[in-house]
Amino acid sequence: MNVALPPVKPHINFIETYFPVHLISNKLSHNVRDIKMSQMKGRQYTQTTLEVESHAATAEKSEGAKTSGAAGLTEESPISLGSLRSFLKTEIEGLGKEICDEISSLWETTKADMKTICDELTEKVERLFSMQAEAANIQMGMEQSLSDTSDRLMALENSCQSLAADHKKLQEKCIDLENRGRRQNIRILNIPEGSENNTPTAFVAKFLSKVLGEENFDGPILIDRAHRSLAPKPRKGERPQPIIARLHYYSDKEKIMSLSRSKGKLSFKGAQVHIFPDMSPEVGRQRAAFNQVKAKLRDAGIQYRMFFPAKLEITADGSKMSFTDPQAVERFFTAKNHHHWRSIKRKNINLDTCVW
């Protein structure tokens, strides 16, 4: 008996795209299997009933044969067949109605389950759409913030470069002003501690006249002030602190430096002393970077001079070369191409930019 299933109407257009078809297929498979089991049970019931009726008819026939005797009457009469047909029809109709009811119940259950699943999926997908929209808004905000930060960073970099250039100019100007304030100062090294007897100004004037020669000056050397460098007093056996003196006249300072270079070694109380111009700490550090190369120049017998602020001039074979980078002087000593060296020194140029 063929039973037509009621047509399935689409729930919503959204389900056609996002509804998992395998869930519906599994559910319908289970329902069809239940229907088949019900049909099998109905057939078994009908077969069992027919067998019972057949046995009953056979027994009734045997008993009738015995009682009838010669009459020869049987139960295979139109009345018995009609009853059987009526019984079968009734059973089949009942079974068909039962199957239809079962299919209808299963369909309602399946439809309810499908609606529940669709509602859950719709809710979840709507939630996903909401989360996606929120994430998109956050992403747009982050992109805008990143763009603003990049613009600000570029502006800060440009401003930093400008400030760095200004700072360098101001630093150079401050160093120049500081050294201009020290240009009449001299620094005397290796004077034993206590030699000045608490009168450093008078001591420096007498010391300069004695070691450089009074005949080299038109009159007494005028010293504005003099003092030891501002540092703790060294212990016995340690190197004494230098004496810093400010001369009243710049011409006296230049004459003192010239006489000091011309006389070479100066001594006081058996100790060798040195006279240098007083410089700012920054210029002092720049000049100290040339100490090693100056020692090599002295060992090689090459004449040199230091110019303000930190420029080394070398005189060799009648040619003069100037350096502002100690490494350039090092490369000069390690150069093996003497022809290249001779061609450069003839030009009397700055060797800091040369590649050795």
Distance of alpha carbon 341 from the chain centroid? 48
Tell me the pLDDT tens digit for each residue of 243-274: 999 999 999 999 999 999 888 888 888 889 99
Same structural domain, 211 and 273: yes
Dihedrals phi, psi of 96, to nearest 5 degrees: -65, -40
Number of domains observed in the structure of the chain = 3
- Is residue 232 included in any domain, yes or no? yes
Token pair of 288 as six digits: 């100290």
Same structural domain, 307 and 242: no
Distance of alpha carbon 201 from the chain centroid? 61
Same structural domain, 241 and 313: no
Please, are residues 333 and 294 in contact by the beta-carbon 8 Å criterion? no
Same structural domain, 283 and 317: yes
- Is residue 67 included in any domain, yes or no? no
Per-residue pLDDT at 319: 78
- Is residue 328 included in any domain, yes or no? yes
CATH for 338:
3.30.250.20
Same structural domain, 23 and 33: yes
Please, are residues 290 and 305 in contact by the beta-carbon 8 Å criterion? no
Same structural domain, 40 and 29: yes
Rounded to the nearest 10 degrees, the angle between the axes of helix 281-288 and helix 78-181 is 100
Averaging pLDDT over each range in 49-53, 75-79, 227-231, 242-246, which range is the top one? Answer: 242-246
Same structural domain, 193 and 264: yes
Same structural domain, 251 and 287: no
- Is residue 244 included in any domain, yes or no? yes
Distance of alpha carbon 69 from the chain centroid? 115
- Is residue 152 included in any domain, yes or no? no
Same structural domain, 206 and 126: no
- Is residue 229 included in any domain, yes or no? yes
- Is residue 119 included in any domain, yes or no? yes
* Residue 1, pLDDT above cutoff 90: no
- Is residue 95 included in any domain, yes or no? yes
CATH for 195:
3.30.70.1820
Same structural domain, 113 and 223: no
Per-residue pLDDT at 20: 45
Please, are residues 312 and 290 in contact by the beta-carbon 8 Å criterion? yes
pLDDT band for 122, please (50, 70, 90 cuts). very high
Instruction: Specify the range with the lowest mean pLDDT, choosing from 126-130, 132-136, 175-179, 303-307.
Output: 303-307
Last residue of one domain, picked from the residues 222, 253, 278: 278
Confidence (pTM): 0.49
Last residue of one domain, picked from the residues 234, 255, 278: 278
Tell me the pLDDT tens digit for each residue of 15-71: 344 444 444 445 445 554 655 565 555 555 545 554 544 454 454 445 444 444 433
Same structural domain, 114 and 23: yes
Same structural domain, 25 and 124: yes
Please, are residues 306 and 312 in contact by the beta-carbon 8 Å criterion? yes
- Quote the percentage of the chain above a pLDDT of 90: 31
Per-residue pLDDT at 73: 38
Rounded to the nearest 10 degrees, the angle between the axes of helix 291-300 and helix 326-334 is 40
Per-residue pLDDT at 337: 38
Last residue of one domain, picked from the residues 138, 158, 175: 138
Q: Which domain holds residue 105?
A: 13-60+85-138
Average pLDDT, the chain: 77
